[in-house]
Amino acid sequence: MDRRDAVLGYYDAIDAGDDDRLYGLLASGFVQHRPDRTLDGRDRFVRFMREERPRTDTEHVLEEVVVGDDDTVFARGRLRAADGDDLFGFVDVFRVADGRIESLTTYTD
């Protein structure tokens, strides 16, 4: 799986609530840095997505995905609620190696 496919799979898995697929896309030492917290470890991140995130009735609407020259993939988009309202914009910066997402830094507006 190439880096772009791993990132697209990440959003698909979260939006579908497919925890097993999400788990398989992440490296064991995965970490996410976001404005409100850091989620350290694949198990912790998947547990947060499954049990703790504030809203699950959302979808990621991607506007742009750019694969960098190194292991970096940049994704820009909006998080949209089930009723069609945009909740906020985001830019995600992924580090992907050997088909697994090693880290993610999320910026929101």
Average of per-residue pLDDT values in the chain: 96
Q: How far apart are CA 16 and CA 56, in angstroms?
A: 10
How many of the other CB atoms lie within 10 Å of CB of 77?
Answer: 18
Q: Is 19 exposed, middle or buried, given 0-12, 13-18 or 19+ CB atoms closer than 10 A?
A: middle
Q: Is residue 1 predicted with pLDDT exceeding 90?
A: no
Instruction: Average the pLDDT over 58-63 and give the result.
Output: 98
Instruction: Give 29-44 pLDDT, tens digit per residue.
Output: 999 999 999 999 999 9
Give percent above pLDDT 90 in the chain.
Answer: 96
Query: Domain limits of the chain?
Result: 3-108
Amino acid at 94: F
The fold of the 3-108 domain, in CATH, is Nuclear Transport Factor 2; Chain: A, (3.10.450)
